[in-house]
């Protein structure tokens, strides 16, 4: 889902995770559950790599 989102917008932010299709899979809460305190760093790193 993240791949498909990034294809159209070239980045992903916390707010994006509360919208479709992510909300149907648990949204921001699920991502935090999976990655914990590393979530923001991972999103930053992902966006940095995508911008390169």
Helix 27-35 vs helix 39-51: crossing angle, to nearest 10: 100
Read off the pTM: 0.75
DSSP state, residue 21: T
H/E run at residue 29: helix 27-35
- Please give the average pLDDT of every successive group of 10 residues along the chain, which has 52 residues: 74 91 94 96 89 74
- Predicted local confidence at residue 51, as pLDDT: 77
- Predicted local confidence at residue 45, as pLDDT: 92
- Predicted local confidence at residue 8, as pLDDT: 73
Instruction: Tell which residue, 22, 14, 23, has the closest CA to residue 47.
Output: 14
Provide the residue count of the chain: 52
Residue 8 tokens, joined: 């159209």
Alpha helices in 1-52, H assignment, sequence order? 2-9, 27-35, 39-51
- Predicted local confidence at residue 46, as pLDDT: 87
């Amino acid at each position: 889902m993240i791949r498909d989102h990034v294809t159209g917008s070239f980045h992903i932010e916390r707010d994006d995770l509360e919208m479709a299709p992510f909300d149907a899979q648990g949204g921001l809460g699920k991502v935090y559950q999976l990655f914990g305190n590393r979530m923001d760093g991972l999103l930053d790193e992902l966006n940095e790599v995508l911008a390169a």
